[in-house]
Amino acid sequence: MTVLARIAEGHHDDVAVAAVHGEIDASNAPEIGERLRSLVTNRSAAMVVDLTGTTYLDSAGINLLFALGEQMSGRQQALVVVVADRSPIARMLSITALDRTVTVEGTLADALDAVRPPAP
């Protein structure tokens, strides 16, 4: 059996961060969704899903991100997705209007800035 995706997990203060490397498709989207959801606690302000290392994303992966965004929003938490500008993944997010539903940033640093409260 081949592993299609690896997930590097971490936290930046109260922000869960998951970097997905490889492919997200119907065969692994449910498992990836469970792993991503397990990173978020009631104390989490947000989650950043970094897709810059993702080489393939099908409709199951897009649906996963829509559902995750909706669940996070319902908990008053933010979801930010990181994709490289002009990448095929960025194009998919645009075509499906996911980029109008969740915040999309070009770098992890920009994503973390997007969820941090403004400095006093």
Beta partners for residue 20, in sequence order: 7
| CATH domain 15-107 topology | Transcription Regulator spoIIAA (3.30.750)
Q: Kindly report, residue by residue over 53-64, the tens digit of the pLDDT.
A: 999 999 999 999
Q: Is 16:50 a contact under the CB 8 Å cutoff?
A: no
Beta partners for residue 46, in sequence order: 15, 78
Residue 120 confidence (pLDDT): 65
Q: Kindly report, residue by residue over 17-54, the tens digit of the pLDDT.
A: 999 999 999 999 999 999 999 999 999 999 999 999 99
Q: Dihedral angle at the C-alpha atoms of 25, 58, 73, 117, nearest 10 degrees?
A: 100
Instruction: Pick left, alpha or beta for residue 13 (phi over 0 → left; psi -120 to 50 → alpha; otherwise beta).
Output: left
Band of pLDDT at residue 79, cut at 50, 70 and 90: very high
Coil, strand or helix: which one is 7? strand
* pTM for the predicted model, two decimal places: 0.93
**In the predicted model, what is the mean pLDDT of the chain?**
93
Residue 3 confidence (pLDDT): 81
